[in-house]
Each structure stands twice: as C-alpha cells, then as structure tokens.
Amino acid sequence: MKTCRLVLLGLGTCVVVGILAPSVAEAQPVNPCSLADFALFGEASQFDGVAAGGNMYLKTRLKAGRSYVALAWAPIGGGPLGEDSADLSVDYLTDDCTTLATTVATLSSEPSLTVPGHVGGQVSIIPTTSGPVYIRVHNNAATSTLLKVMVFETTLFSPWWFTGGTNQAYAEIRNNSSDTVAATITAFSPNGTVCGTSNLSIAGDGNAAVDIGALGTCRAAVSGSAQIAFQSMPAGLTANITTIDVVAGTSFDSPFTPRMVWSMLNR
C-alpha cells in the first residue's frame, strides 16, 4: 500500500497520486521476507524500482504433491530500455526464506516468456511439503525495471475411475508442449487416501497411458479419483480417464480438468 507523509503544500499532490495509481509499485524493502506481498493465485502483481541485481519477494501457500508455476516478465516500458532490458530469474524458497526448495524445474515451453531481447522467468514446482513458500524474482539486467509476477496452479483432477468386476480404468495423457514434461499421477480411494502413484516422463507432443488398477492398492479400492501434477506451463498437459468393461462392451470417460483456468487478474 502506498503511504504519503502529508504537508500542507503537498497534500493535493499526494491525493492525486493515490487516486491515479493503478497498481502496487513498491521499491525493494529493507527486510524483503518479512514484508513480502502475498501472492493470490492468478493475480498479476506489478512492482517497479527493482534495482539492477536486486530481488523482489512474494509469499504464498502451496500443497504437497500438486503443481504450480511462477511467471515473471517485464511489460513494455519496464525500464530505461523498455521490455528489451528485461532479464529475470525465479527461485522458490522454503518457509525460512533462505533455503532453496526442491522439485523445481526451469521451463522454456510455450507460451514462453523468453523471446529475443526479453528474458522472463517461468519456473515450476511440485512441493514435497505443504505450507508457506517464498518466491524470489531476481533482476539480472544492468538497469532497474518494472516487472509483473504471477503464481498459478497447474494440477489436473479427474473425479472418477472404477475397477470393479471386469472393468479396467486407464488414464490417457498428452503433452501439449514441444518439451519433455515430468508428471506424477496420483490415484485416490473414495475416502481420499492415496492408493497409488506413477511418475512419468512424456516426450514433447507425446502421450502416455496408465492402468489405474495396476497402481498400488487401487484395484482393491474399486473406485476413486485422480490428480496429475506436472512441470510445464498451464495447460501443458491434457488428460482423460476411460473406464472400460470389455466383457459387457461398455465404457465411460472422466476427463481431467484444471482447478484454475488460464487467466490473469491485475492489481
């Protein structure tokens, strides 16, 4: 939030600035972790005055086993040279704000934030523990810059699979990017406990199929739901679960859908 020290001669100017300012635009705080802004998923937060070689911090809360991506970029007019001066990188830090988090992947897949003259940050994480996480954006450029940052959940969810009787359930997954993507499918029993997992590496524009009944204790669980966490940009994977009974000649589909759609809010 912007603050002003008011004097009589500057009162009018301060009021005008407060009304016209469209978004948060703060310089780097002295104690960045304790003053880090909270990152609401899907909200594009704007900051200026990030000095050359300086950092900007956000904090958010992630859930273990799901997947997220943090995006950082400079809009036009982001510094003395505009967006052509942008050179940004992103790190995830644990709740002590000093230790680098694990299960992190730097991305280059489309839609890419790195184009000639502009290097943005796009980094995915599948956290191993639930709780607070800090996101550090580093300005690698030789000049200060204005930048935007967004955190996005990419996890996919399917509400139903069934392996009772002569039924078999298969998850079919497609990689929509041109880069190899690491993914983890987790199957849950009806009471929400995990009955099995499988780690996948899916080639660019490739696909994979997973027999749900072959995972852990899922066949004994008979039915349940599933999620896919993956390290790519939002909508990097699409997937479906098909339950089929070859004997009876019946089948039904339970598509995976994201909890978040690909969009932005600004502040």
Strands 37-38 and 55-62, sheet pairing: parallel
* Predicted pLDDT of residue 44: 87
AA identity, residue 82: G
Interval 184-207 mean pLDDT: 98
Give pLDDT, residue 167. Answer: 96
Q: In the numeric block, which tokens belong to residue 70?
A: 């943090």
Query: What average pLDDT does this structure show over 65-79?
Result: 82
pLDDT over 60 at 17, yes or no: no
- Whether pLDDT at 223 is above 70: yes
Q: Which of 165, 185, 184 is nearest to 241 (CA)?
A: 185
Compute the distance between CA of residue 90 and CA of residue 218 in angstroms, rounded to an integer.
Answer: 38
Domain boundaries defined on the chain: 22-153, 156-258
Per-residue confidence band for 233, with pLDDT thresholds at 50, 70 and 90: very high
- What's the confidence (pLDDT) of residue 46? 86
pLDDT tens-digit series, residues 165-178? 999 999 999 999 99
CATH number of 156-258: 2.60.290.11
According to the model, what pLDDT value does residue 93 have?
94
43-50 vs 265-266, strand pairing mode: parallel
What is the structure's pLDDT at 78? 45
Contact (CB, 8 A) for 135 and 123: no
Give me the pLDDT at residue 245, please: 95
Beta bridge partners of 175: 237
Residues of the chain with pLDDT > 70, as a percent, come to 82
Average pLDDT over residues 93-114: 89
> Does the 22-153 domain belong in CATH 2.60.120.380?
yes
Higher pLDDT residue, 26 or 15?
Answer: 26
Give every strand in the sheet of 265-266, ordered side by side. Answer: 104-106, 121-125, 68-73, 145-153, 43-50, 265-266
Residue 34 has pLDDT above 90, yes or no: no
Q: Which pLDDT does position 28 carry in this prediction?
A: 46
- Mean pLDDT of the 57-75 span: 94
Q: Residue 74: pLDDT band by 50, 70, 90 thresholds?
A: confident
Distance CA 124, CA 139 (A): 19
Higher pLDDT, 148 or 199: 199
